[in-house]
Amino acid sequence: MATSSLGTSANRTLYIVCLIVGIVALTLGVIASDSIGSDFSRLFTGRPTDRSIWLLIGGAITTVGGVIGLVRGSS
């Protein structure tokens, strides 16, 4: 019984960490997409830098994964 409680606590902690990391990555992606380097990239290629795109995609996936894990874990 103590093992399942410990496992649930560890999973919840992991999902909270995923949520926090995802939010941080999303924030960094938004900041990177508004940077001068991204503006130059958008000027010449018509799209922001790859770094900002990957930060936004990775942040969104990690955030959604953390939210789903927390919602599923609480039910």
Give the pLDDT score at 5: 65
The answer to whether residues 32 and 55 touch, using CB atoms and an 8 Å cutoff, is: yes
d(C-alpha 6, C-alpha 32), whole Å = 38
DSSP 49: -
Query: In this structure, how many other beta carbons lie within 10 angstroms of the beta carbon of residue 63?
Result: 19
The answer to whether residues 59 and 23 touch, using CB atoms and an 8 Å cutoff, is: yes
**Could you tell me which residue, 12 or 42, shows the higher pLDDT?**
12
pLDDT in tens, 21-74: 999 999 999 998 888 888 888 788 888 888 899 999 999 999 999 999 999 986
